Amino acid sequence: MSLFKLSREIIFIILEELDPHSLLRFCKTSRYIKDIVANYSTLLYRCELALSGLTDGSSISHPPRARLDPLLRHRRGWLALNWTTEDRLRIPTPTIVGVSGRFLYHASESSHNGSFQWSLHIYELRSYRMPLIDKLRYCRFNLPFEIRQVAIDPLQNLLVLAELYFPPQNGPIFACLHFLDMWTCQRHPHAENMRFQFQTDWWGTPPPGHRISVERVQIHGKSVGLSLRLEVEGGEGTTELVLVNWCTGRDQQQRFTGDLLSFDILSESCLMVLFHPDEDEDDDSGESATSTWERSSNGLYLHERGKRSPQIVIHHIPDGRRLRSPQVISYDLPESWKSISFLQLCPNSSLKPNVSPPSGTFFYSDPSRRATVILVEFPSHSTPPGCSKKMALVMKESFFQPPSFGDKTLSWEEWQDHCIVVHLPDEAHTFKAVGRKLVFLQGVREQNCVADSRSRLHVLDFNEYAAECLRCLAPRSSTRLWNGNWNTASQILRLSVSEFVRTSTTQVQDITWVDATEDAVVLYNEHEGQTIIRVLTFGGHSSIS
């Protein structure tokens, strides 16, 4: 018996059993099914979830019909870069400022009762993907140490602060992580120890021209990743990475060192490390790699060594049981990329698989389609044929699976079909990933303009249905011009068999750098000792046509 001979009520019951992506594929094969779906808000909402690269949240108090309009506004807002709400903050230029876990933070030194201390400010960011609240939360804490980096996990009420300690004499330099409750700034109740100290390989006071910084702190479940970088004039340097269990305060016995090295904790048992190995390194994993730097009485000196092509290495995170051999999978990048001058994993602010969204969330980026973005830059004099000076590799994070027992290496030819290689403008900078989107700035130098903070904002949307969503709004053109808060343009671009959408501001803006969340872009502009922060939130009622 043909499905189409059944009553619409029976077909509706069958369609309700399909997951969003199966339902969307079914709609694409039959106009009759598409018409049925369009008349039932429950089905239409699930179909629009799949089109938008989103997944359903946990808000049982709001039926699909109530979540459908926010979803469509959210998608259209990002597509046009047309925000609903703008929140502004003007502050003296802080030492550190950024976004983590749906919160904006900034910290700087201040005077209190005649003594100097550090003030940390934390602001909750608004979202139209959950029920509106009367008042956004704000906290201020005074701390006795200089805050070098901040990471926030609101699902665990966890605030991690990074500190650097420089000894008064020629002793080792330490990094310290503080594990705090984000609402009290006291020791987190699940942390056995309030802090963890990590002894670096660097000693004494850094010589002039040398700089030590905390590059990144990442929280995933019980694991916290910490990367530190020692950099000298000219951009050369070395990076150290350590993993810590914040509940026990113990090192997880995995440390890595490399000239160009970044990381991402994929899961409780899986760590991704991106690095540029030397020709004479025996360990393909990059673990405990020999540094190319040597300390003498008057500074650090670089010893040039041949380089192999960059590698992505997936490590197994030990669970306390001793392994008989390393468990790693290595993915080689192109052989012609040996001469890179910059290599970095771009942090993605959307939720990872097996992480629950905040209570009341209507919808959020589908973790199974979350993007891993690798940024690459070549010296101007040695850019490989067919490459741009700056490039991005985009792939699904789910492609990288935990290693099984033993190790394995895949050549670029074996896995390149899983990547989208994007050529970026030479002036591109400040990259942020969220879900399947890549947000970045392009510096613009205007004639007779002294300021160097003028930029265009770009959003690349790699959702597989983004081009289809744009065509629904502009069926006769691959480019759509929007007249909203900004003048922007959205365009469909093609790479091999893949399509993606680029939305850009057509006018330059005063932007120094940018952050991005699932709900907003956060723009920063430093000028004459002041920092203006603009939080542009998408998804509310919009008036654009």
Model-wide pTM > 0.85: yes
Residues 118 and 63 in one domain: no
* 203 in a structural domain: yes
- On the CB side of 110, CA atoms within 13 Å amount to 17
In the chain, what is the straight-line distance between the N-terminal and C-terminal CA atoms, in Å? 45
* 225 in a structural domain: yes
Q: Which residues pair with 178 in a beta bridge?
A: 161, 195
User: What's the token pair of residue 11?
Assistant: 């077909």
* 419 in a structural domain: no
* 364 in a structural domain: no
Residues 156 and 93 in one domain: yes
Residues 16 and 136 in one domain: no
Q: Where are the alpha helices (DSSP H) in 252-363?
A: none
- Cα angle 452-520-492, degrees, rounded to a multiple of 5: 80
Lowest-confidence segment of 154-158, 290-294, 393-397, 443-447 by average pLDDT: 290-294
Which of the four pLDDT bands, split at 50, 70 and 90, describes residue 297? very low
Cβ density class 284-293: b for 16+ within 10 Å, e for less: bbbbebebbb
Q: What percent of the chain has pLDDT over 90?
A: 63
43 sits in which H/E element:
helix 41-52
pLDDT over 80 at 446, yes or no: no
Residues 117 and 215 in one domain: yes
- Rounded CA separation 446/31 (Å): 51
Strand pairing report for 149-153 and 158-165: antiparallel
Q: Is 394:370 a contact under the CB 8 Å cutoff?
A: no
Give 280's DSSP letter.
T
- CA dist list (Å): 296 to 100, 228, 327: 39, 21, 36
- Rounded CA separation 489/503 (Å): 6
Lowest-confidence segment of 10-14, 206-210, 478-482, 486-490 by average pLDDT: 478-482
pLDDT over 60 at 301, yes or no: no
Write out pLDDT tens, residues 26-39: 999 999 999 999 99
Domain end among 19, 53, 80: 80
Query: Residues 255-277: what's their mean pLDDT?
Result: 91
Q: What are phi and psi of 317, to 5 degrees?
A: -85, 120
Per the model's pLDDT, the better-predicted residue between 273 and 380 turns out to be 273
pLDDT over 60 at 448, yes or no: no
pLDDT of residue 321: 56
- Rounded CA separation 308/330 (Å): 13
> Sign of torsion, CA 141 143 148 151?
negative
Helices 64-80 & 41-52, crossing angle to 10 degrees? 30
Residues 168 and 242 in one domain: yes
- CA dist list (Å): 329 to 284, 286, 319: 10, 12, 18
Query: Residues 358-365: what's their mean pLDDT?
Result: 93
Residues 131 and 247 in one domain: yes
Residues 47 and 156 in one domain: no
Strand pairing report for 237-245 and 223-231: antiparallel
Residues 171 and 57 in one domain: no
Residues 74 and 165 in one domain: no
Q: What are phi and psi of 305, to 5 degrees?
A: -135, 155
Highest mean pLDDT: which of 42-51, 196-205, 284-293, 466-475? 42-51
* 441 in a structural domain: no
Q: Is 381:401 a contact under the CB 8 Å cutoff?
A: no
What's the number of domains the chain is made of? 2
- Rounded CA separation 381/388 (Å): 12
Q: Which residues pair with 532 in a beta bridge?
A: 90, 525
Q: Is 517:105 a contact under the CB 8 Å cutoff?
A: no
- Rounded CA separation 165/30 (Å): 65
Residues 188 and 205 in one domain: yes
Q: Hey, which bits of 113-189 come out as E strands?
A: 115-124, 138-143, 149-153, 158-165, 172-181
Helices 41-52 & 20-29, crossing angle to 10 degrees? 100
Which of the four pLDDT bands, split at 50, 70 and 90, describes residue 23? very high
pLDDT of residue 345: 96
Mind giving me the DSSP string for 197-218? EEEEEEESSPPTT-EEEEEEEE
pLDDT of residue 543: 45
Q: Is 385:360 a contact under the CB 8 Å cutoff?
A: no
Domain end among 195, 221, 251: 251
User: What's the token pair of residue 270?
Assistant: 């899986």
- Rounded CA separation 350/299 (Å): 41
Q: Is 460:454 a contact under the CB 8 Å cutoff?
A: no
Helix %, strand %, coil % of the chain (to 5): 15, 45, 40
Which residues have CB under 8 Å from 476's CB, separation 6+?
none
Mean pLDDT for all residues in the chain: 87
- Rounded CA separation 7/5 (Å): 7
Residues 110 and 197 in one domain: yes
User: What's the token pair of residue 277?
Assistant: 């190995």
- Cα angle 487-99-175, degrees, rounded to a multiple of 5: 145
Write out pLDDT tens, residues 71-108: 999 999 999 999 999 999 999 988 899 999 999 999 99
- CA dist list (Å): 136 to 127, 139, 400, 534: 10, 10, 37, 16
* 459 in a structural domain: no
pLDDT of residue 22: 94
Place of tokens 């959205």: 490
pLDDT over 50 at 180, yes or no: yes
* 470 in a structural domain: no
Residues 246 and 102 in one domain: yes
> Which range of residues forms the domain containing residue 95?
89-229+238-251
- Rounded CA separation 7/528 (Å): 69
- Rounded CA separation 179/249 (Å): 9
* 174 in a structural domain: yes
User: What's the token pair of residue 347?
Assistant: 């942090």
pLDDT of residue 544: 40
Comparing CA positions, the residue from 422, 436, 392 lying closest to residue 493 is: 422
Write out pLDDT tens, residues 302-347: 444 456 889 999 998 876 655 445 678 999 999 999 989 999 999 9
What is the 3-state secondary structure of 5-23? HCCHHHHHHHHHCCCHHHH
pLDDT of residue 402: 85
Amino acid at 99: V
Domain end among 80, 103, 135: 80
Burial class of 106 by CB neighbour count within 10 A (0 to 12, 13 to 18, 19+): buried
